[in-house]
Amino acid sequence: MNTLAAHITPPLSAERAQTIAHSLDLRALPRDFLDNPYPVYAALRQSEPIKRMPDGSYFLTRHADLVAVYRDAKVFSSDKQVEFGPKYNHAPFNQPPFATPGGVSPLFEHHTHSLVFNDPPLHTRVRRLIMGALTRRAIEAMEPGLVLLVDSLLDKIEAQRGGDLIEDFASAIPVEIIGNLLGVPHAEREPLRGWSLAILGALEPALSPEQEALGHRSVSEFLAYLRQLVADRRQHPGDPEHDVLTRLIQGEDSGDALSEVELLHNCVFLLNAGHETTTNLIGNALISLQEWPEQARQLQADLNQAATDGAREQILALAVDEFLRFESSNQLSNRRALQATQVHGVDLPAGALVTLCIGAANRDPAVYAHPEQLDLRRTGNKHLAFGFGVHQCAGLSLARLEGRVAIGRFLQRFPNYQLSEAPVRGGRARFRGFLQAPFSI
């Protein structure tokens, strides 16, 4: 076993986990929590599964409670106008030269217009248009191109006898796939990852002034680029069956009118949603296999013994869902109670802000046997990595395809890969993944 693997997720004592759980504040999280939050989540599920936070919000860690909130979209709103106003829409960013034409800050305008942070009717209109380009047939048609992309990345890794799991592999795949969906020319894709990391990084519970400024600047630069791309696509439409941008534009002619602001910001959302979470899925999976060598050996053996492509795909499908459960790419989600209500007998007042801890729910022993163990043969996996209900991830089938192809083909080519340096975590609470993970083959 690679000795570096023992240090990827450092242990957290039960005493330390209880101490963090007791005083948990998302605005001031200690480093050891960010390295390994799961013992803290376990302590909360046992002692305070619906925890009142220092800011008056509620932090939920049980699987059943998350499902109940996800199901009740009429009471629990995804709209973030109230929550994000104080966070983003303040001086100097809501004033020239930062302010958007609508007179608000770039991050506020973006996050309050994106699909994931809205209720009907905007959510319904945009989701319907996007899903029309992510049909089963359309996703199946993407697989040959995805295989070629993955194999080209693996060829480069083989030629240099290693590389970085994140920079050279995991992050390169979703940027290309979403770039293809939006029809972004290959020569213009270089800034996309940086913009996405900055905009999503600004969703963290606590922001430094530098992080916030970078987020606002990234939104502005991305929007400036998209205005040119949209103008060109209006003059030269693509195939709406595969080109999401063309589909969003043409939706205006079918009664599903999107304003220019809605159109632009949901293009930003598509890149962000498809990039960070899928990068984390692939990176977390390949790094988890270094931490769990017996699972890596079992997965390799199962794949080698698979008699058909269909059997191999099913093995990988189970593995991908277990990676999503065990190290959820997106750890936190949020809702606001539109009226006074209850969750598991606990009274929540109207206006209550609720944090849904996906990472905790996905390790709830009430739902999963041996939840703290990676089990790549686990069946009936009811994880919440893609959310649940009306806001379940629109691109979940595409993400699963990217995971199966990327992980499967990587393991086929490099069954004996090893980390060559300790991987570097992103250090974020909402999105769990790595920034760097050097390896050799």
Residue-range domains of the chain with CATH: 3-440 (1.10.630.10)
Question: What's the CA gap between 415 and 126, in Å, rounded?
Answer: 41
Residue 121 pLDDT > 50: yes
Q: Which amino acid would we find at residue 216?
A: H
pLDDT digits (tens, 9 = 90+) for 343-387: 999 999 999 999 999 999 999 999 999 999 999 999 999 999 999
pLDDT digits (tens, 9 = 90+) for 169-222: 999 999 999 999 899 999 999 999 999 999 999 999 999 999 999 999 999 999
Q: Which residues pair with 336 in a beta bridge?
A: 77, 353
Q: Are 187 and 256 in contact (CB under 8 A)?
A: no
Q: Which amino acid would we find at residue 400?
A: R
* HSE of 140, CA atoms in CB hemisphere, 13 A: 3
**φ, ψ for residue 37 (rounded to 5)?**
-80, -10
What percent of the chain clears pLDDT 70, i.e. is strictly above it? 97
Residues 6+ positions from 303 with CB-CB distance below 8 Å: 312, 315, 316, 408, 411, 412
Q: Which amino acid would we find at residue 35?
A: D
**Reported pTM:** 0.94
What pLDDT, on the 0 to 100 scale, is given for residue 1?
47
